[in-house]
Amino acid sequence: MKSTTRHLTFTIPERMDFLNITPQVREIVAESGVQEGLCLVNAMHITASVFINDDEPGLHRDYKKWLEELAPFDPSPDKYHHNRTGEDNADAHHKRQIMGREVVVAITAGKLDFGPWEQIFYGEFDGKRPKRVLVKVLGE
């Protein structure tokens, strides 16, 4: 069995945004030489996410609005107990929990085996600093 591990680093200038990382993941899969296997992609920070969906700007705007309604940014210690620790990012932890930590995609004939319109996204909820994403490819 082959195994390839890479770390991608992203610094998103906004507090919350989504970045299509499919091209980087495809490149790592190609470099791995794996023809049949699995590719794990996960955010290595508790205020960031990795998820699969459509690369459609309206959908991304809808996600941002929906997430802000569910867990609005409020740096004060009054809204979230977590912010009483000196942090101001409790909302980002909630948003990450909703959007998920990782995805696993099958590799078939050396390529990511997606359904129609599927792409891999990095979701940032407490941006403006470097954060890592792990890409691990396993297979034959």
Domains, the chain, with CATH or none: 2-139 (2.60.120.460)
Model confidence, pTM: 0.96
Residues 45-90 pLDDT 10s:
999 999 999 999 999 999 999 999 999 999 989 999 999 999 999 9
Report pLDDT digits (tens) over 92-105. Answer: 999 999 999 999 99
Q: Where are the beta strands (DSSP E) in the chain?
A: 2-10, 17-20, 36-43, 48-53, 102-108, 111-112, 119-124, 131-139
**Token pair in block for residue 53:** 């969906």
CA-CA-CA-CA torsion for 58, 64, 69, 75, nearest 10 degrees? -160
